[in-house]
Amino acid sequence: MVPAFRLLLPVALSCFTLHAESASPGLRLGLLTGAAETLPGPLVTALREETSRLLPLPGLEIHWRDLEGRSGKETFDHLIIVRFHGSCSPFTPARAVLPPGPLGITHISDGQILPFIEANCAQLTSAARRLRRVPFRLDHESLGRALARVVAHEIYHVLSDSGRHDRHGLSKAALTPADLFLPGGGFEPAALNRIAERLALPPASQLVSTMP
């Protein structure tokens, strides 16, 4: 039986929050990562491309920025801090497969979802080792795409301001290794609609799907 990995139960945590800055034409989403989180270039490219593919919302611009090097003059409508834990390298020496644990976390405080999400690379590489029944190679690209699926799930919680999970798609409460590493997949229209409604964007029925 392929184990499912728990994703994203929000945890209560007293934390800082970021205030939305002045609005600009179009909806600018800033994803801020720490300077110390130097990920391999091919992994970063795959992470960013897959994140954009998973969130095909017209009018939503996704901008990745270095948290510490960010210009104070640049403005965003929504800001989310993204942190990565564990080694994000596909070439990390294999260790014992970890017990299934959270792949990602969205923080909440006093019942309010905060724009502060985390993804666990160690759990991702452990999940990849459980994917044995199909031809699969863990490399920068596949790890970057899997990381994007965890990050996109957490972004869904923040942008929709909802802790809701669905039975299908990327908004499920738990993802299998196949969900994470095999090609295709994405959010169901209902989940994208929650984001669109919250952000006053066109509904998912008007979206052109980019999912294979």
Contact residues for Zn ion, defined by CB under 5 A: 8
Rank residues 8 and 138 by Cβ distance to Zn ion and give the closer one.
Answer: 8
Taking the complex as a whole, the smallest distance from the CB of residue 173 to Zn ion amounts, in Å, to 6
Rank residues 8 and 82 by Cβ distance to Zn ion and give the closer one.
Answer: 8
Rank residues 8 and 27 by Cβ distance to Zn ion and give the closer one.
Answer: 8
Rank residues 81 and 138 by Cβ distance to Zn ion and give the closer one.
Answer: 81
Taking the complex as a whole, the smallest distance from the CB of residue 175 to Zn ion amounts, in Å, to 10
Taking the complex as a whole, the smallest distance from the CB of residue 8 to Zn ion amounts, in Å, to 3
Taking the complex as a whole, the smallest distance from the CB of residue 153 to Zn ion amounts, in Å, to 6
Instruction: Tell me, letter by letter, the H, E, C secondary structure of the chain.
Output: CCCCEECCCCEECCCCCCCCCCCCCCEEEEEEECCCCCCCHHHHHHHHHHHHHHCCCCCEEEEEEECCCCCCCCCCCEEEEEEEECCCCCCCCCCCCCCCCCCEEEEEECCEEEEEEEEEHHHHHHHHCCCCCCCCCCCHHHHHHHHHHHHHHHHHHHHHCCCCCCCCCCCCCEECHHHHHCCCCCCCHHHHHHHHHHHCCCCHHHCCCCCC
